[in-house]
């Protein structure tokens, strides 16, 4: 499966557009991560627990998007984008979306 944040896949010809595909996950904060993040706020620096949570969320959202694209018969997804939104206090959605295509 070819992925691109461009409207095309360089060196490939798009022969068919199959439509919008998306994958999302909703994750909540972990109490242990919250405690460590609170302590880190006093001294500054990267909040590694949250960085890891976001990386896991993006991977899961991408995989779900790819599953949907495969189900449509795509071998590529172009215009890949990410979106995040708060669902409730302590929980957020990460979404990956793009256009499923067939490329040669």
Query: Rounded to an integer, what distance in angstroms lies between the CA atom of residue 33 and that of residue 88?
Result: 17
pLDDT at 34: 55
Query: Rounded to an integer, what distance in angstroms lies between the CA atom of residue 35 and that of residue 17?
Result: 46
pLDDT at 80: 98
pLDDT at 28: 81
* pLDDT: which is higher, 34 or 43: 43
pLDDT at 38: 57
Question: pLDDT by residue (tens digit) across 48-100?
Answer: 777 888 899 999 999 999 999 999 999 999 999 999 998 887 788 999 999 99
pTM of this structure: 0.85
Question: 1 and 64 in contact (C-beta within 8 Å)?
Answer: no
Read off the DSSP letter of residue 13: -
Does the pLDDT of residue 1 top 90, yes or no?
yes
Q: Hey, where are the domains in the chain?
A: 2-103
Task: Single out the residue of 68, 88, 83, 98 nearest to residue 27, CA to CA.
Answer: 88
Does the pLDDT of residue 35 top 60, yes or no?
no
Question: pLDDT by residue (tens digit) across 13-29?
Answer: 999 999 999 999 998 87
Q: What kind of fold does domain 2-103 have according to CATH? A: Translation Initiation Factor IF3 (3.30.110)
């Amino acid at each position: 499966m070819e992925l691109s944040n461009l409207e095309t896949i360089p060196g490939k010809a798009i022969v068919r557009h199959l439509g919008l595909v998306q994958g999302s996950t909703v994750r909540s904060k972990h109490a242990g991560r919250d405690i460590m993040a609170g302590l880190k706020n006093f001294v500054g620096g990267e909040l590694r627990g949250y960085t890891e949570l976001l990386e896991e969320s993006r991977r899961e959202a991408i995989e779900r998007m790819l599953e949907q694209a495969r189900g449509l018969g795509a071998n590529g997804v172009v215009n890949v984008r990410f979106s995040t939104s708060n669902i409730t206090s302590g929980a957020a959605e990460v979404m990956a979306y793009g256009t499923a295509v067939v490329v040669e």
